[in-house]
Amino acid sequence: MYTRIYYFRFPKDTSDQPVIYHVIKKHDVEVNILRADILPQREGVMILELRGTKVNVKHALSYLEGLGVSIERLATRVRRDDERCFQCGACTGVCPVASLSIRREDMRVLFDPDKCTGCGQCVLICPVRAMEMSLGREWFDPEGSRTPSISR
């Protein structure tokens, strides 16, 4: 499964269109809304996690670009707090890309950030919150005010 987080800026004339419905129904892409500021007849912004096959996500992005939506990929940063991690291994069972794995020789849980897609599954399951996730970006809302970067 291909998972990426994007920042979208929607032009005014899309505010009353079922754009997200089409992304889900026509392109078979799951959408997780992390933030949305959309008002009728106003430019809007959304931060969405898109999940699906790589081809379907690409087609969904092309569809949005065709509507004049500006798209920016957010580089998700995931890190592990090694002080907190007690090597229980729970996160290795949910990581879809084996970024977290168990080294059989000594049963240590290894984390390879280069493989990580930023899906966030390990953040949800870790019992001691050792996995931390940040979108590592600041953005500006339609009113122009600055809002802090997301972390969870």
50 forms part of the interface with ligand SF4 (CB under 6 A): no
Compute the C-alpha angle 116/122/126, nearest 5°. 145
Angle, in degrees to the nearest 10, between helices 54-66 and 19-27 = 150
- Element (H or E) spanning 103, and its range? strand 100-103
**Among the listed residues 64, 119, 135, 150, the single contact to ligand SF4 using CB under 6 A:** 119
Handedness of CA 109, 30, 27, 137 (dihedral sign): negative
31 forms part of the interface with ligand SF4 (CB under 6 A): no
Of 46-54, 58-66, 115-123, 137-145, the segment contacting ligand SF4 by CB under 6 A is 115-123
**Among the listed residues 1, 90, 138, 141, the single contact to ligand SF4 using CB under 6 A:** 90
126 forms part of the interface with ligand SF4 (CB under 6 A): yes
- The residue among 24 and 102 lying less far from ligand SF4, judged by its C-beta, is 102
E strand segments, 11-90: 30-37, 44-52, 70-73, 77-80
- Interface residues with ligand SF4 (CB under 6 A) are 78, 80, 85-91, 94-95, 97, 99-100, 109, 116-122, 126, 128, 130-131
